[in-house]
Amino acid sequence: MKNLTIIGATGSIGTQAISLIRKNRDKYNLAAISAHKSIEKVINIINEFNIKHVAITDRDTFERLKDHCSLKNLKINIYYGVEGLNRICTLEEIDTVLTSVVGMVGLIPTLEAIRAKKDIALANKETLVAAGEIVMREAEKNGVKILPVDSEHSAIFQCLQGNENNKIDKILLTASGGPFRGKKNTDLQSISVEDALKHPKWNMGKKISIDSATLMNKGLEVIEAHWLFNCDYEKIEVVVHPESIIHSMVQYTDGSIIAQLSSADMTLPIQYALNYPNRDASFIKKLNLFDVHTVTFEKPDIGVFKCLKLSIEAGKAGGFYPTVLNAANEAAVDLFLKRKIPFLKIQEIIERSMIDFSFNESMTLESIIKIDKEIKDFIYNNY
């Protein structure tokens, strides 16, 4: 039986992972979880799985949960903040940590888990975008597997199995195109938060849904793929595939393209990451090829969706550019969700940040965290 920690247990990925665990109690033991504010969901998970270790990142929710557990006489270790996340990610009994929190908050706990020699089921893009060099170096040093949970990176990972000695020509990273595929800048002038949250294929959290609408999500995935698969940016190509049946492909030097196809259900990549290298019976709806009438591919419009272009530029430039890109995007998306800036202002803020900020510090975890804070503070104070 595999002992698991889930950080971000009440979010979209965490919820789907728990549903999977619920159906496979003979395979997985959910030992520890984290959440931010969803106290009712946390209490339900504690009761259902007899959780003994919980980390909460919101102070008020932390105090409320402590009071609840005291009132119910529940013997549970409750931890607060990033230190709490670190604690539940490094528990001796844990085998694998599923990192499904959104944003830079996932970086330090992921590194701590790696240093504690826990395998990582990675659903937190920002970890590799902001600190890919450090994270991959630590994973190699500690003999830790980083197993991708994003559907696209899981697909690439699966297409690479058994081909370790074969040269890649390029990775074909698919994108649905988001809710505004085919739109022009004039169409995006008055986009509302509600419009941007309506993804045509996937049920995701708010931040990731906005990233999908701007195509920043795909840009972050390009940088993530660079680190996960040690692949040059020139060999990573984004392909818009609106049907979301092919989740990504790998083209080898002989011209063969290997693709991974399935229904659009995140349960499958979660299950593959937790079970790797084995495949188990799945609970997802099987893909019926006779129902697939059309499979189309398009080039992304980087003139309209500049976030994808900016991401690739940041990745190629290296250094702290991906950190700046990610920090600016997190702050800008937050401002948009709070209705303080219009939709197209997101990419404008990111572009200005990449132009205006430069850093000469050495690449360390401390400098990454410092730069992330500086960028976000500037944006929050000026927009």
Rg (CA), the chain: 20
Q: What is the pLDDT of residue 186?
A: 94
Residues 166, 235: Cα–Cα separation, whole Å? 15
**Cα–Cα distance between 82 and 259 in angstroms, integer?**
38
In this predicted structure, what is the pLDDT of residue 358? 84
**Contact (CB, 8 A) for 17 and 45:** no
Give residue 58's pLDDT band: very low, low, confident or very high (50, 70, 90): very high
- Structure-block tokens of residue 301: 């419009």
Q: How far apart are the first and last CA of the chain?
A: 50
* pLDDT, greater one: 260 or 264: 260
pLDDT of residue 320: 95
pLDDT number for residue 284: 84
Query: CB count, 10 Å around CB of 78?
Result: 19
Q: Evaluate if residue 379 carries a pLDDT over 90.
A: yes
Confidence at 292, pLDDT banded by 50, 70, 90: very high
Residue 202 clears pLDDT 90, i.e. is over it: no
| Residue 85, pLDDT score | 98
Buried b (16+ CB within 10 A) or exposed e, 154-173: bbbbbbbeeeeeeebbbbbb
pLDDT for position 205: 84
Sheet of 2-7, strand order: 77-80, 53-56, 28-35, 2-7, 96-99, 119-122, 146-148
Predicted pLDDT at 360: 82
Give the span between the Cα atoms of 44 and 177, in whole angstroms: 36
More confident residue, 252 or 125: 252
Average pLDDT, the chain: 95
Query: What is the per-residue pLDDT across 140-175, written as a single tens digit (0 to 9) for each?
Result: 999 999 999 999 999 999 999 999 889 999 999 999
Distance, CA of 207 to chain centre: 10
What average pLDDT does range 99-106 have in this prediction?
Answer: 92
Angle at the Cα of 233 from the Cα atoms of 232 and 237, rounded to 5 degrees = 120
Q: What angle do CA 124, 126, 131 make, to 5 degrees?
A: 120
Are residues 249 and 295 in contact, defined by beta-carbon separation less than 8 angstroms?
A: no
Q: Name residue, tokens 């630590």.
A: 138
Closest by CA position to 72, among listed 47, 42, 48: 47
- The answer, yes or no, to whether residue 281 has pLDDT greater than 90, is no
The structural domains of the chain, ordered by start, are 2-148 (3.40.50.720), 153-186+199-303 (no CATH), 318-383 (1.10.1740.10)
pLDDT score for 344:
97
How confident is the model at residue 199, as a pLDDT? 79
What mean pLDDT do residues 364-373 have?
95
What does the chain come to in residues? 383
Is pLDDT of 185 > 80? yes
pLDDT band at 114 (very low <50, low <70, confident <90, very high): very high
Q: What is the pLDDT of residues 262-280, one digit of tens each?
A: 998 999 999 999 999 999 8
* pLDDT higher than 90, residue 86: yes
Say what percent of the chain tops pLDDT 90: 92
Region 189-201: what's the mean pLDDT? 89
pLDDT of residue 361: 85
pLDDT > 80? residue 119: yes
**pLDDT of amino acid 197:** 94
* Measured distance CA(270)–CA(2) in Å, rounded: 14
Task: Supply angle C-alpha 125, 88, 79, rounded to 5.
Answer: 110
Contact 300, 215 (CB under 8 A): yes
pLDDT one-digit tens code per residue, 4-38: 999 999 999 999 999 999 999 999 999 999 999 99
Residue from 259, 252, 263, 219 nearest 238 by CA: 219
Q: For residue 22, count other CB atoms closer than 10 A to its CB.
A: 12
Q: Which pLDDT score, from 0 to 100, does residue 247 have?
A: 97
d(CA 308, CA 87): 35
